[in-house]
């Protein structure tokens, strides 16, 4: 059963109370650094990415420089991150393309880049104020499913559309709120339902 209007209001109010002015936690100085940082952020923390990108961007400040780096050198920098071999391959491939093509903040262009999908494109577009997009990642999908905003088994596309219909606008801010909530409270393992103000009305807890 979908949450009623009151439950949706309580959900939104609680997330605003927890995260009134959410800010991105990945650090970058330009769109090139941003797209590389997002590419490195899969299955790790933003804190870990910021640590390696501080060194990476000081040694390889643009696409041209990074495209010419050796795999071994980049692997040694990315080593603290999970999937560091795959990520090395991806960011060198991405940089090789961007060394010859200026980044266009357009969905079609972004989604045509090596290793870039809808989620990364949505973050790039909304965080750079090009268009209001709601990027869905695993944390956000989990929160939406637990609160019955979408049914179990729903595609990311359905989850995105259901959330957009409830949140209405300012999707970049909602993305940041939802992702923080999923990382800090509605965690994948052992969600902190005992401290969550939604526990009295949450589908995950009560099945109502």
Task: Return the residue of 18, 31, 99, 193 that touches ligand SF4, per CB under 6 A.
Answer: 193
Task: Return the residue of 113, 202, 206, 207 that touches ligand SF4, per CB under 6 A.
Answer: 202
In the complex, least distance from residue 142 CB atom to ligand SF4, rounded to whole angstroms: 8
Give the orientation angle of helix 46-59 with respect to helix 31-40, to 10 degrees: 130
In the complex, least distance from residue 203 CB atom to ligand SF4, rounded to whole angstroms: 7
To the nearest 10°, the Cα dihedral for 92, 94, 97, 98?
-100
Q: Which is nearer to ligand SF4, 51 or 197 (CB)?
A: 197
> b vs e for 94-109, b when ≥16 Cβ sit within 10 Å of the residue's Cβ?
bbbbbeeeebeeebee
Q: How far apart are CA 55 and CA 169, in angstroms?
A: 36
**Site track 1-20 with ligand SF4 (rule: CB under 6 A), x = hit:** --------------------
Q: Which of 39, 48, 54 is nearest to 80 (CA)?
A: 48
Q: Which is nearer to ligand SF4, 87 or 146 (CB)?
A: 146
Instruction: Report the site for ligand SF4 in 129-188 (rule: CB under 6 A).
Output: 146-147, 185-186
CA 151 to chain centre: 21
* Chain residues that interact with ligand SF4, rule: CB under 6 A: 146-147, 185-186, 191-193, 196, 198-199, 202, 204-205
């Amino acid at each position: 059963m979908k949450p009623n209007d009151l439950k949706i209001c309580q959900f939104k109010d609680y997330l605003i109370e927890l995260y009134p002015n959410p800010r991105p936690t990945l650090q970058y100085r330009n769109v090139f650094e941003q797209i590389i940082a997002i590419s490195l952020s899969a299955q790790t923390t933003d804190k870990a990415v910021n640590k390696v990108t501080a060194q990476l961007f000081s040694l390889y400040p643009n696409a041209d420089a990074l495209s010419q780096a050796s795999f071994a050198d980049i692997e040694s920098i990315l080593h603290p991150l999970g999937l560091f071999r795959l990520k090395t391959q991806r960011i060198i491939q991405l940089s090789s393309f961007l060394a010859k093509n200026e980044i266009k903040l357009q969905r079609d262009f972004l989604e045509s880049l090596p290793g870039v999908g809808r989620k990364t494109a949505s973050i790039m577009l909304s965080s750079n104020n090009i268009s209001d997009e709601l990027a869905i990642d695993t944390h956000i999908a989990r929160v939406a499913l637990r609160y019955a905003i979408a049914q179990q088994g729903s595609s990311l596309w359905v989850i995105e559309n259901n959330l957009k219909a409830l949140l209405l606008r300012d999707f970049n801010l909602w993305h940041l709120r939802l992702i923080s909530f999923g990382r800090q409270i509605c965690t994948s393992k052992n969600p902190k339902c005992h401290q969550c103000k939604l526990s009295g009305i949450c589908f995950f807890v009560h099945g109502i």
